[in-house]
Amino acid sequence: MYKRVLLKISGEALAAGRGFGIDAIFVSRVAEEIVELAKSGCQVAVVVGGGNFFRGVAEQAIHMDRVAADHMGMLSTVINAIAMQDAIEKLGVQCRVMSAIEMHEVAEPYIRRRAIRHLEKNRVVVFAAGTGNPYFSTDTAAALRAMEIRADVLLKATSVEGIYTADPKKDPEATMFSSITYMEMIQKNLRVMDTSAVSLCNDNNMPMVIFSMREQGNIVRVVGGEKLGTLVTS
């Protein structure tokens, strides 16, 4: 069983297929799994995306200044982080939202040593606002935070079972990799994460598991060592 994990959840996942907004039932379901992990002794950090509200590279932002659009996307992640915090604390586990953009009334500023201390006290930590910088995705933020807190593994929860040779929604012949290296991901042009996040993980030997969160209990199973999804290593 992993002792300290960073879980990346996309904003689109929190919308649970609705496209926009937050599905409270789905958020509660994810929170239940996170709380189960925390109560078992696993230290859990979470990075949330903001695509269920706004994405700086989406069509809706095509005529906007990229920096302004990315800042709007970062603020969207804060909404999701607060929703996740509320769901987790309703289940009896302390949770802290730490934002890369300072907003003291709703979140703590991100300070690496303080984040690690929260984890050591068995509090769940939700990292919001990406890296705080434009032009960087929340995938890159997840890779960066995973290394900063010295996580054992980066877990990327998606809507598919793992990494496939092609998009399984478009190609019925696509097959899933049980394991793959970061360099192979780049060489095969498998766009599961942006290249900067992949390079960051590869350069720093951060293992990653990409798996489906559609089935209840998968997060707990992956952390427990069950072979689900695709394992990515350097």
Up-side HSE of residue 137: CA atoms within 13 Å toward CB? 19
* Cβ atoms 171, 190 nearer than 8 A: no
Of residues 143, 113, 114, the one with CA closest to residue 47? 143
Q: What is the pTM of this model?
A: 0.94
- Single-letter residue type at 10: S
Closest CA to 65 of 147, 135, 152: 135
Task: Report helix, strand or coil for 7.
Answer: strand
Phi then psi for residue 148, to 5 deg, are -65, -40
**Annotated binding-site ranges:** 8-11, 50-51, 55, 70, 131-138, 158, 164, 167
Name the residue ranges covered by the structural domains of the chain.
4-233
Residues paired with 95 in a beta bridge: 124
* Of the candidates 118, 53, 54, the residue with the CA atom closest to the CA atom of residue 88: 118
- What pLDDT score does 224 carry? 95
Residue 201 in contact with residue 148, Cβ under 8 Å? no
pLDDT, one tens digit per residue, over 87-108 is: 999 999 999 999 999 999 999 9
- Per-residue pLDDT of 20-49, as tens digits, reads 899 999 999 999 999 999 999 999 999 999
From the annotation, which residues make up the binding site for UMP? 50, 70, 131-138
Give the whole-number percent of the chain exceeding pLDDT 70.
100
**pLDDT for 18 beyond 80:** no
Average pLDDT, the chain: 94
- Quote the pLDDT of residue 214: 85
User: pLDDT of 106-161, one tens digit each?
Assistant: 999 999 999 999 999 999 999 999 999 999 999 999 999 999 999 999 999 988 89
Binding-site positions for ATP: 8-11, 51, 55, 158, 164, 167
From CA 99, how far away is CA 78, in angstroms rounded? 7
Q: How many CA atoms lie within 13 A of 113 on its CB side?
A: 0
Q: Under CATH, which number does the domain 4-233 receive?
A: 3.40.1160.10
Mean pLDDT in residue range 182-211: 94
